[in-house]
């Protein structure tokens, strides 16, 4: 078993690659009664064209299959629903689909092993029929229509579609009402057998465990005689570097306009670079529009915004972008103030005192994440699919100096790759 350790947070992660290909990550967290398990597959909404290991021909699936399959995993052949079973055990259970992975999880204080039995049973035993697939189409169609009516989702999706021309990230994770109509049980089984193979999955567990003991408990619950799988060849369209269009405004029923400002970034598959760059971008974002920033104070005092915008950097092996989202009485003023601040920093350089102060705040946020079993487990699982060891964020932190941050500011915050999505009231 591989052991990686970080002395700054006094945490260890035990990593084991099993014979069937499954990666198990165990992060012991003593002095807590909470236990958290998340079982993820490296399969998300953008993975709609692929060549399975045993195939020579390309398989193309309808948009929305990853999300549809996630919904169907809970239904069992005996008529029960695993989500109901887990809830009855008193654990908090859930599942979710993103652009690049799907995950099944629960957090428990009591009844941990009965809940583990249920989780590992339903994830390994799909049950799809013509009837239950057709029934689900109606449920998901309603969900798609509901999201279409949500201003927060629309302002985000419009920003993504302004940035990406061909990348399937520009399609709703749930697909469209039309695309899901093409899903059937054969497609679901094909996708399950390809992407839900242990070789394409990682199970992360955090809590008061002895690593060897909990590893054996996991092994006991795995299906026997499953051999490692070959490589899945994923096929993605070529994405141009430039954006599609700089701005889009739509009208919906909102009390105050919503905005999302995006900066399209190039794809970088060097894991160490991703971590260092991510830290620098977080620092820059808080310097630009964090609660203590000059721009935020001016916008707040002018009544243009009432709270700090959401600041994030989304990155994977297929897409990468900065997003700044929030509400404003005057989104164009926010854009203008942001651009002025970026120009100022590009001309005179980032303010060193502010840089050091924000850098310390970011480090404090990282340390705080290690206080929660759910945060730790989710972080290790998501980072694993990106080829990143989560402890690298604490290690690379020291390497992010102001010169490097100024370089990242110039590279990423390029007005030619900036988009503005607004949803305003009718």
Q: Are residues 210 and 253 in the same domain?
A: no
Choose the final residue of a domain: 234, 265, 296: 234
| The pLDDT of residue 228 | 86
Residues 364 and 338 in one domain: yes
Residue in the structure block whose two tokens are 């919904």 = 71
Instruction: Judge if 152 and 283 occupy the same domain.
Output: no
In a shared domain, residues 191 and 261: no
267 and 230, same domain (yes or no): no
Please check whether residues 271 and 221 belong to one and the same domain. Answer: no
Q: For residue 308, what is the DSSP state?
A: P
Is residue 269 predicted with pLDDT exceeding 70? Answer: no
Tens of pLDDT, residues 394-415: 888 889 999 999 999 999 999 9
Domain shared by 162 and 266, yes or no: no
The bridge status of strand 258-264 relative to strand 320-327 is antiparallel
Q: pLDDT digits over 24-36, tens only?
A: 999 999 889 999 9
- The pLDDT of residue 141 is 94
Q: What is the mean pLDDT of the chain?
A: 94
pLDDT digits (tens, 9 = 90+) for 157-172: 999 999 999 999 999 9
Q: pLDDT-derived band of residue 348, with 50, 70 and 90 as boundaries?
A: very high
In a domain, 241, yes or no: no
Q: What is the DSSP letter of 292?
A: T
> Looking at the predicted structure, is the pLDDT value of residue 68 above 80?
yes
pLDDT per residue as tens digits for the range 177-218: 999 999 999 999 999 999 999 999 999 999 999 999 999 999
Q: CATH code at 287?
A: 3.30.830.10
Q: pLDDT for 107-130, tens place per residue? A: 999 999 999 999 999 999 999 999
Boundaries of domain holding 272: 247-425
304 and 189 both lie in a single domain: no
Domain check: are 46 and 183 in the same one?
yes
Task: Tell me the backbone φ, ψ of residue 303, rounded to 5 degrees.
Answer: 80, 15
CA angle 122, 52, 121 (to 5 degrees): 10
Statement: residue 275 has pLDDT above 70: yes
Distance (Å, rounded) from C-alpha 413 to C-alpha 338?
10
Q: Which band of pLDDT confidence, cut at 50, 70 and 90, is reported for residue 148?
A: confident
What is the C-alpha to C-alpha distance for residues 328 and 332, in angstroms, rounded to an integer?
A: 9
Number of domains in the chain: 2
Q: Is 327 a domain residue?
A: yes
Confidence of residue 272 (pLDDT cuts 50, 70, 90): low
DSSP secondary structure string for all residues of 224-287: SSPPPP---EE------SS-S-SEEEEEES-SS-EEEEEEE------HHHHHHHHHHHHHHHHH
Are 324 and 338 in contact by the 8 Å Cβ rule? The answer is: yes
Residue 80 tokens read as: 């029960």
Asked whether residue 90 is assigned to any structural domain, the reply reads: yes
187, 213, 234 - which closes a domain: 234
pLDDT at 301 over 80: yes
Cα-trace Rg, the chain: 23
CA distances from 224 to 77, 220, 235, 237 (A): 20, 9, 31, 37
Give the DSSP letter string of 116-175.
HHHHHHHHH-----HHHHHHHHHHHHHHHHHHHT-HHHHHHHHHHHHH-SSSGGGS-TT-
Residues marked active site are found at 70
- For residue 240, tell me if it sits in a domain: no
Examine residue 242 and state whether it is found in any structural domain, yes or no: no
Does residue 239 fall inside a structural domain?
A: no
pLDDT at 268 over 80: no
User: What are the C-alpha distances in Å from 209 to residues 21, 214, 391?
Assistant: 23, 6, 20
142 and 108, same domain (yes or no): yes
Q: Where a domain ends, among 234, 261, 281? A: 234
Give the CA angle between residues 201, 59, 224 to the nearest 5°: 35
Q: What are 183's two structure tokens?
A: 């899903």
In a domain, 393, yes or no: yes
Does residue 418 lie within any of the structural domains? yes
Listed in sequence order, the residues at least 6 apart from 179 whose beta carbon sits closer than 8 Å to its beta carbon are 62, 63, 64
- 281 and 180 housed in the same domain: no
pTM of the model: 0.93
Both 204 and 269 in one domain: the answer is: no
């Amino acid at each position: 078993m591989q052991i990686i350790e970080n002395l700054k947070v006094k945490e260890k992660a035990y990593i084991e690659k099993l014979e069937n290909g499954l990666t198990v990550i165990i992060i012991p967290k003593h002095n807590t009664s909470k236990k958290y398990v998340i079982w993820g597959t490296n399969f998300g909404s953008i993975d709609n064209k692929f060549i399975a290991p045993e195939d020579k021909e390309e398989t193309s699936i309808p948009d929305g299959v990853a999300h549809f399959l996630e919904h169907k995993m809970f239904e069992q052949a005996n008529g029960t629903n695993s989500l109901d079973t887990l809830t009855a055990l008193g654990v908090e259970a859930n599942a979710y689909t993103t652009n690049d992975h799907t995950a099944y999880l629960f957090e428990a204080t009591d009844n941990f092993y009965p809940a583990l039995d249920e989780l590992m049973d339903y994830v390994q035993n799909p049950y799809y029929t013509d009837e239950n697939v057709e029934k689900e189409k109606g449920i998901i169609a309603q969900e798609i229509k509901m999201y279409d009516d949500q201003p927060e989702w629309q302002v985000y999706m419009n920003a993504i579609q302004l940035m990406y021309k061909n990348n399937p990230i520009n399609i709703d994770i749930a697909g469209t009402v039309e695309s899901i109509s093409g899903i059937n049980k054969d497609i679901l089984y094909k996708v399950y057998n390809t992407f839900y193979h242990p070789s394409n999955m990682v199970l992360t567990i955090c809590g008061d465990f002895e690593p060897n003991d909990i590893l054996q408990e996991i092994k006991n619950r795995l299906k026997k005689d499953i051999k490692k799988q070959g490589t899945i060849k994923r096929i993605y369209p070529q994405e141009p570097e430039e954006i599609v269009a700089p701005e889009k405004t739509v009208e919906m029923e909102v009390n105050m306009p919503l905005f999302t400002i995006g900066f399209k970034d190039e794809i970088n598959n060097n894991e160490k670079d991703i971590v260092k760059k991510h830290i620098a971008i977080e620092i820059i974002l808080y310097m630009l529009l964090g609660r203590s920033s000059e721009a935020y104070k001016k916008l707040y005092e002018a009544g243009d915004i009432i709270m700090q915008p959401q600041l994030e950097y989304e990155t994977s092996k297929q897409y990468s972008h900065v997003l700044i989202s929030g509400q404003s009485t005057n989104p164009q003023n926010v854009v203008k103030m942001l651009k002025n601040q970026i120009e100022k920093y590009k001309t005179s350089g980032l303010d060193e005192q502010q840089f050091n102060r924000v850098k310390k705040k970011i480090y404090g946020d990282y340390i705080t994440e290690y206080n929660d079993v759910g945060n730790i487990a989710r972080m290790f699982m998501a980072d694993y699919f990106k080829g990143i060891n989560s402890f690298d964020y604490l290690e690379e932190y020291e390497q992010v100096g102001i010169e490097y941050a100024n370089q990242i500011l110039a590279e990423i915050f390029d007005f030619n790759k900036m988009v503005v999505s607004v949803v305003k009231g009718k």
